[in-house]
Amino acid sequence: MTRRYALYWLPAPGSRLEAFGRSVLGYDTVSGEAVAHPDGLGELAPVNAGARVYGFHATLKAPLRLAPGVTEADLVAAACGLAAAHPRVAVGPLRVAALGPFLALVPENPPPELGLLAAECVAALDPLRAPLTEGERAKRRPERLDPRSRALLDRWGYPHVFEAFRFHITLTDALPEPDRDGWHRRLAEAYAASGPEPVTIDAICLLTQDGSGPFRLLARLPFGDPHG
């Protein structure tokens, strides 16, 4: 069974944002258990079935397979080294927004430090990544990408990196256009009712996936802690 890893940001344990995200996606990446959708949003299940596999997260290093000879311990050590040297990043308030056909939480005013953090994560872990297979590359639909995005895909295994990075937490799968406004309103209302607080990134998280199963938390690595 193929195992993949990803470096994500997850909300702080016990936070209101964590509770909101688990309920909206119906899945807890820490426990691996299903979670009930919020009252009035029970029909979310078919709307974000694809997003549920990845859990409530913001991508910093997209899912990857380890290169031959690289171990999980090597990956954890590299991520620990990255986290130990990194300062906290004040992201600020989030809002529900449309990203093409998807709905996601995005920062109201993303700071430059956010893009720098993502770039560091991409560069630090890339030497441990196995090259994309033809099948993996095809799933990214390179024929729909512009030349720069294809170049990023081929070099870094993912097209949405560096200048193409945008911090976001996916809430839905691709929605038909007639459905987007309604879901945007309903999710924005649910988010406001959750008592949202400004976000600060003070840790990064390694997650694992076996086969096509859901991602599970492997390690939460606080910033400034050399031991993770």
**108: left (phi > 0), else alpha (psi -120 to 50), else beta?**
alpha
The pLDDT confidence band at residue 20, using thresholds 50, 70 and 90, is very high
Q: What is the mean pLDDT of the chain?
A: 95
Query: pLDDT, tens digit, for every residue of 135-157?
Result: 999 999 999 999 999 999 999 99
Quote the pTM value: 0.94
Query: pLDDT, tens digit, for every residue of 52-64?
Result: 999 999 999 999 9
What pLDDT sits at residue 227?
52
Query: pLDDT, tens digit, for every residue of 158-200?
Result: 999 999 999 999 999 999 999 999 999 999 999 999 999 999 9
Q: Which residues of 20-53 are buried (b: 16+ CB within 10 A; e: fewer)?
A: bbbbbbbbbbeeeeebebbeebeebeebbeebbe
Q: Is the pLDDT of residue 95 over 90?
A: yes
Domain locations in the chain? 3-222
For 152, half-sphere exposure in the C-beta direction (CA atoms, 13 angstrom radius) is 18
CATH 3.40.50.170 correct for 3-222: no
Show the tokens assigned to 193. 């009712």
What pLDDT sits at residue 21?
97
Query: pLDDT, tens digit, for every residue of 25-47?
Result: 999 999 999 999 988 898 999 99
